[in-house]
A and B are shown apart, each in its own frame.
Chain A
Amino acid sequence: MATPIIMPRQGQSVETCIITEWHKKKGDSVEIGDVLFSYETDKASFEEEAKAAGTLLEIFYEADEEVPVLTTVAVIGEVGEDISEFLPSTTVTEETTPPPAAESTEIADTPIEPTPASQGQPRTSSEIRISPRARNLAKKHKLDYRYATPTGPEGRIIERDIQSLLEAGPKVTSAAMADYFASDQPLTGTGLGGRITTSDLRQPLPPANTVPTQTSSVPDYVDVKLPNIRKVIAKAMHHSLSSTAQLTLNTSFDATEILAYRQKLKAKQNELGLENITLNDLIIYATARTLLKHNELNAHYLDDTLRVFNNVHMGVAVDTERGLMVPTVFYADLLSLNQLAENTKRAIAACQAGSINPDELQGGTFTITNLGTLGIESFTPVLNPPQTGILGVCNIEYKIKLVDGEYVHYPAMGLSLTFDHRALDGAPAARFLKDLVTNLENFSVLLAM
C-alpha cells in the first residue's frame, strides 16, 4: 500500500508552502526519518522527514513550486504499485469540509494577524471565481479581490470574503482603477495605505544602454535568487515605510542600576535556578510595563481605528541566517522576569533553528530590536505595521554628567523609538521614552510595582 506524503500545515494561518529543495529524487529508496524535502512558509523553513520506508514512487511538485497545505506532494511505496489515486486533481483542490467562517476580529486579547489576507499569494484573474456582488463590493472599495480568501461554494469568492479583505487588503487609487482591473499581475501597492497606484501598474522600463568602461575576468555581477523570506521582508519593509508616517526619537539612560542588577542575577543564577537573564530581557520587561501607561504605542493603527491592546505582545527582532525574524512573546506584561527570559530565549532559538511555529511570528503589539551588541549608537528602526511603535536598543557608551557639582561618568545606553505619527504625536512618544528611562534607571522600584 503506497503512502502519500502530505505537505504539512504549519500553523492555522498557513495555506500554502513552497518546496525549496528535494533531498530525494524519484526512484530513491527511503528510510523512515530520511529528510525528503525542505520547504518554507512565508515566515519559516522546515524539513519533512519520511514517515514510511520504501521507494519514492512519484514527486508531484518540484522545488520552487507552491503547494497548498495538506496536498499530496509525493508517494512512497513499492515499485510497481498503483499510485493513480494520489494524483493531484487537475481542477482546483477543494476541501470537503466547509472553510471556517471569517475569524472574529472582536476579541481584543487574542493575537491578530498583522496583515492577514494581503500576505497570501494572490491568484491571477483567470483562476478566480467571484460572485458579481463580491466583485462589485471590491470595486466599490477599490480593493484587489484577488487577495481575498474564497469561502463560497467551489472556491468562489463571495461577499463575506471581500468584507474580510476590507480590513487589510491592497487598495487601488482611482487613477489606477481601469488599468488595474485589466491587469492580470498581482501587484503590491506603493501608494498611501498600500494603495496600488498608476506607477505600480507601469511596465518596468527597459534597462538603459550602458557602455562598459572596464573589463574583468570575473563577471560583473551574479544574480542571486532571493529566497521567499527575503522577498517577504523586502515587501514588509517597503510597505512599512511607504504606508506609515514614521519618525524616530533618540535618548539614552543611565544603565548603572540595570547593569548592577544583571550582575546580581548572574551571580545567583545557578543557586536560584534562574534563566540567563540578559540586559535585553530587562529592557523588554521595563518596556512592557511602561507601555501599559502609554497604550497608543501598544496599538495597531487600522484605517479608521486605533486598536489599543490591554496586554503587551512583544515582538522581538531576531537576526537569523535566513534573515530578520520577529517572534512574539505573548503577554510580556504579565510574565515574571524569569518567565520572560525563558520565553524570549526559546523563541529566539526556534527562529534561529528555523523551527518556529508561524503562529508565533504574528500578533505582536510592539516590537523591540537590539543592535547594541553590534556597536550601533543610534538608528531608525522600521515599524512593523500596523504596530505604532518599535524600540531600538543601542550600545552603551560612557557619558559625563554633573552630580553635586562634580562631573561623574556613567554608562549611558541609547534608545531609538520609532513611532507612527499618524497614531500619536511627538510629545506623547517623548513622554513614553521619559517614563521608560525613569523605569530603567530605577529598575528595583519597577520590580516592586
Chain B
Amino acid sequence: MPKIQFVDPVEMRKPGKITFQDIPINQYNKTIEEEKSNFSAEDFLRIQRDMVYIREFETMLNLIKTTGQYREIEYNYPGPAHLSIGQEAAAVGQAYLLTTDDFIFGSHRSHGEIIAKGLSAIHQLSDEQLLTIMRDFFDGAIYQVVEEAATSSSVKDLAIDFLLYGALAEIFGRETGFNKGLGGSMHAFFTPFGIYPNNAIVGGSAPISIGAALYKKVNQKPGIVIANIGDASMGCGPVWEALNFAAMDQYRDLWEEGYQGGLPIIFNFFNNHYGMGGQTSGETMAYGYLARVGAGVSANQMHSERIDGFSPLAVIDAIRRKKAIIEEQNDGPIFLDTVTYRFSGHSPSDASSYRTKEEIDAWQAYDPIITFKQQLLDAKVASESDFEKIEQEVSDRIFKVFKLAIDDQKSPRMNLYANPNSISDLMFSNEKIEKMDDREPITLIPKEENSRIQQIKKKIRVAEQDGKPVSKARAYQLRDGIFEAIIDKFYTDPTLIAYGEDNRDWDGAFAVYRGLTESLPYHRFFNAPISEAAIAGSAVGYAMAGGRVIAELMYCDFLGRAGDEVFNQMAKWQAMSAGVLKMPLVLRVSVGSKYGAQHSQDWSSLVAHIPGLKVVFPATPYDAKGLMNSALAGTDPVIFFESQRIYDIGEMFHPGGVPEDYYEVPIGEPDIKKEGQDITILTVGATLYRALEAAKILEEKYGLSAEIIDARSIVPFNYEKVIESVKKTGRILLASDACERGSHLKDIAQNISELAFDYLDAPPVVVGAQNWITPAHELEEFFFPQAEWIIDAIHEKILPLEGHVTKTNFTKNEKLRAQRLGV
C-alpha cells in the first residue's frame, strides 16, 4: 500500500478489454543442418551421450526394482524410483546452457535432471575446478571411492564417475552418497554443480525456487533459477502462490534501480500429462494447454510458451531465449510448458491402468534418443560407430558405478551403532555467523537517524521505576525488544531481508516494524502477497541459497496455510542435505487473542512436534531481544512466537532493564522468573503473567511460595533448571495458552515424570486452554488458562489447599468425561 501509487477510480472503472499476445506452441522447427552453426559434432554427440546416460541409469534402476538384478548382479532396493525414461531430451536440453551459477530445483522425478545438469557442469568446468569440488566435498569421501576405482586418468571421466556414483549411492542410502544417504532418490542434489534440492512434495520446489531467485536478485548474484515441477503441480496452491510472488508488480514499479524486474526464475513444467495416474489436460486440470496459465499471471504473460520436450534442440533453444529475457531484459519470471512423456510408470509398481499400450507405443515411436540419433545419422554428423562408442562408454560406466554403489565395504551406510548421533548431529547446524556476506549492508539512512531508534532512546527500559509502574507510552516494550534486535542485524548482515503481509508502510500488523521502512530499501524489506506458503517457502529457498531472512506470519492461525513449507521444507533440508545446506531463517509467528476461533490459537505445539525446527516463545522484552539476537546470529530455522497480548509489556524481571547493547539469550534455556519453595510453575509465552498472579494468591492466601519458570524456548529445551526446581519443590504445574490436548507441555510433563519421578509429590499437571474453539473475547476467560485455574488445579491434583473452594472443574471425572467426548 505505497502512497506514491494512486489507485485511480477513473482508470479502474473505465471500459476496455485485456488483450493477450499469442502463446507460442512448439514453434521450434530447425533442422540439424540449420543448427550446425550452433553445435559442433561433438556437441551433438554429447547431447546424445547425456541422454543415453540418463536412459541407462534409469533402466538400471528399473531392472533392479522389477527384476532384482542388473546385468546378472542381484540387488534389493526397497526405496522409491520415480523414473523419467522418455523425458531425457527435456532434461539434457535444459541443462545444456546452464552454468553452475544457474540453480535447478526438482521434483521426485529428477534423476535425469541431476545427471544432465551434472554432465553439463563437468563439461564446462576445468579439471582444476572439478578436482577442487570433488576433493572438498565431504572432505573427499566420495572422491576417494571413485578415484580408487578409476579406469581412466581423465579428470572429466573421474568427474562423471563421481556424479553418477554420488547420485546412485545417495539413492541406495549409502553414506558416500551426495547427501550421505539422508536424501535418497527423491531428494538427491549436489550444489557445487548448481543442482539444488529435489522435492518429494509435488510442487514443493516452486516456492523454494523463488526464494533462491530472490536471493540472486537481492544480493545481485549471477545466474538464474529453474523450478522443475510437473504439470500436475499446477493443482497445488503453493505453486500458484509462487507464480504470483515471482511476478509481483513491485519488482518493476517500486524496487530501487538496479533491483528492478521480476525474479530471475523459470518455472519449467515437465508436462508428461499425468499426475501419477491422473490425466492433467483432459481430466484433472482446466487449462487445456498448460502454457495458458502462465500467460494469465502477469502483463508480460511470463513469456509463457509450450516447447517440444522430446527435442533436445528445441529445449536448448527455449532456454537460450528465456535466459536472455531474464539476464538481458531483466523480465522474469518465465513460464515453460515442456511437453514430454514418460514411458516408465509413475513408479515401478505402476500397472499403467490409466493409459493404453497404444498411447505408450505412439510416444515411443518418437523416443528422443532414437529420433535424435537418426537425425544425426541422417545429417551425417556422426556414424553408427560413434553411437556404439557412446553406448559402450555409458554401459561400462553405469555398470562400474552400480557395482561400486552396492559394495558395502566401499559404500557403507551410516553406522548408527558405532555413531548413534550421526543423524541427530545433523538436525541443526548450530553455527554462529554474524553476517552471511561481508558487503556493506544497503540502508537508506544511518541507524541512529531512524525515528524509532530515537523514540526508543527516550523510553524507560524497566516496567517499574521508583516503585511505580512506568506508563505504557513511556515503557520499553516487548515489541521494542524484537525491533532492536532486527534493525541491528539489518545494519550488520547485508543479506538480511524481511517480508510478510503488511510489513512495509503498515509497520507490521502489530507495529513491531514501526520505523523500519524508513531505513530499508524495498529489496530488503517488502510486503508479501497474502501467500503464506510462498512466504515461508521462499524464505527456505533464500536461506538455502545463502542469505539470512525473517519471514512473518501475521497470525499463528495462518500456519496451516504454510504447512508443507514449515513442516517439510524449513525443518528438513539441513539434515536431508547432510549438513551441506544451512537455514538461517527466522519465521516470526504472532499468536493472537480477541479475534475468535481462527485468529487466537497457540500452535507452538505443532511446530515443536516437527524435528528440525527451533521454537522459541519469549514473554519479556529482555528475552525477546536476546532470543531474536540469538535466532538472527544462528544458522538454524527458528520459529519465533510472539504473543499479541504482551507486545506492550515492560521488563519486570531483568535487573536494570533491557540493555541497550547487543546481547544474546541462548536458545533452549528456560529462566527462573521468580524463586519459590513449594511448587514449580512452568509457563510458555504470555501465560507467565497469569502464573505470577496465581503465585501471588498462593502466597497470600495459602502461604505457599511458587517458583515460576519461563520456558522461553520450546525446542531445544534444557531440563536442568526445571529438574532442579522440581527436586526442591516436589511439585510442578505447567501452563500455556495452547489447547490442553496434545499440548507440548504434555511432552515436557512426561519428561519430568521420567527425569524426576522420585522427587515428585504429585504428577506433573498441565493447564492449557480448553479443547474447544476460541470463543469471543468476552468469553475468553472460560477458554484460556486463568490464575484461578492454576490454583484450582493445584488444589485438586497436587496439594489440597485448606479452605480453598474451586471455581473450575479439575476432577478426574471431568477429565474422563471431556476426553471421552473429545473436548
Where the two chains meet, the residues of A that have a C-beta atom closer than 8 Å to any C-beta of B are: 98-101, 131-134, 136, 151-154, 156, 158-160
Contact = CB atoms under 8 A, between A and B. Distances in A.
Given A98-B801, A133-B758, A133-B760, 6 more contacts: A132-B758, A132-B760, A132-B761, A136-B758, A153-B797, A153-B798
Nearest to B702: A101
B801 A159 contact: no
A131 B760 contact: yes
Contact of B761 (A98, A99, A134): A134
Q: A99, A100, A134, A158: which has the most chain B beta carbons within 10 Å?
A: A158
A132 B761 CA distance: 6
B145 interface: no
Contacts, number: 44
B730 A159 contact: yes
A181 to B, nearest CB: 15
B761 A153 contact: no
Contact of B762 (A98, A100, A152): A152
B804 A132 contact: no
Nearest to B703: A101
Nearest to B798: A153
A133 B799 CA distance: 13
B759 A132 contact: yes
A160 B762 CA distance: 12
B802 interface: yes
B759 A152 contact: no
A243 to B, nearest CB: 30
B766 to A, nearest CB: 15
Given A98-B795, A131-B730, A133-B730, A159 B761 contact: yes
B759 A133 contact: yes
Given A98-B795, A153-B797, A159-B730, A131 B802 contact: no
Q: B757, B759, B799: which has the most chain A beta carbons within 10 Å?
A: B799
Given A131-B730, A133-B730, A159-B730, A151 B758 contact: no
Interface string B786-819: 0000000001111111111000000010000000
A288 B730 CA distance: 46
A158 B799 contact: yes
Contact of B800 (A132, A151, A159): A151
Nearest to A135: B758
A213 B802 CA distance: 66
B761 A131 contact: yes
19 contacts: A98-B795, A98-B802, A99-B800, A100-B802, A101-B802, A131-B730, A132-B761, A133-B730, A133-B758, A134-B761, A136-B758, A152-B799, A152-B800, A153-B762, A153-B796, A154-B812, A158-B762, A158-B799, A160-B799
A265 B472 CA distance: 84
Nearest to A131: B761
A132 to B, nearest CB: 5
A159 B758 CA distance: 12
Interface of B: 730, 757-762, 795-804, 812
A154 B797 CA distance: 9
A184 to B, nearest CB: 22
Contacts of A101: 802
A131 B753 CA distance: 12
A185 to B, nearest CB: 25
A99 B795 CA distance: 11
Contacts of A158: 761-762, 799
Contacts of B804: 98
Nearest to B727: A133
Contacts of A152: 761-762, 799-800
A132 B802 contact: no
Contacts of B759: 132-133, 136
Nearest to A98: B800
Contact of A156 (B757, B762, B801): B762
A287 B795 CA distance: 49
A383 to B, nearest CB: 35
A161 to B, nearest CB: 10
A151 to B, nearest CB: 6
B765 to A, nearest CB: 10
Contacts of A151: 800
Contacts of B730: 131, 133, 159
Contacts of B802: 98, 100-101
B762 A131 contact: yes
Contacts of A134: 761
B802 to A, nearest CB: 5
A204 B800 CA distance: 42
Contacts of A154: 812
B525 to A, nearest CB: 53
Nearest to A154: B812
| 3 residue pairs, one from A and one from B, having the closest CB atoms | A98-B800, A133-B761, A133-B730
B263 to A, nearest CB: 60
A92 to B, nearest CB: 14
B677 to A, nearest CB: 12
A152 B801 CA distance: 10
A132 B757 contact: yes
Contacts of A159: 730, 761
A158 B730 CA distance: 10
Contacts of A131: 730, 760-762
B25 to A, nearest CB: 75
A158 B796 CA distance: 13
A133 B728 CA distance: 10
A131 to B, nearest CB: 4
A100 B800 CA distance: 9
A25 B27 CA distance: 109
Contacts of B762: 131, 152-153, 156, 158
Contacts of B799: 152, 158, 160
A99 B802 CA distance: 7
Q: B761, B795, B799, B800: which has the most chain A beta carbons within 10 Å?
A: B761
A377 B434 CA distance: 98
Contacts of A132: 757-761
Contacts of A98: 795, 800-804
A158 B800 CA distance: 10
A158 B795 CA distance: 13
B759 to A, nearest CB: 5
Nearest to B801: A98
A136 B757 CA distance: 11
Contacts of B801: 98
Contacts of B760: 131-133
A133 B757 CA distance: 8
A152 B800 CA distance: 6
Contacts of A160: 799
A93 to B, nearest CB: 16
A156 B762 CA distance: 9
A306 to B, nearest CB: 28
A44 to B, nearest CB: 29
Nearest to A160: B799
A89 B762 CA distance: 25
A115 B812 CA distance: 35
B439 to A, nearest CB: 58
Contacts of B800: 98-99, 151-153
B751 to A, nearest CB: 16
A342 B800 CA distance: 43
A97 B312 CA distance: 85
A157 B799 CA distance: 10
B40 to A, nearest CB: 81
B374 to A, nearest CB: 81
A317 B799 CA distance: 41
B457 to A, nearest CB: 51
Q: B762, B795, B804: which has the most chain A beta carbons within 10 Å?
A: B762
A133 B752 CA distance: 14
A275 B99 CA distance: 121
Nearest to A156: B762
A101 B701 CA distance: 14
B577 to A, nearest CB: 45
Contacts of A100: 802
A134 to B, nearest CB: 6
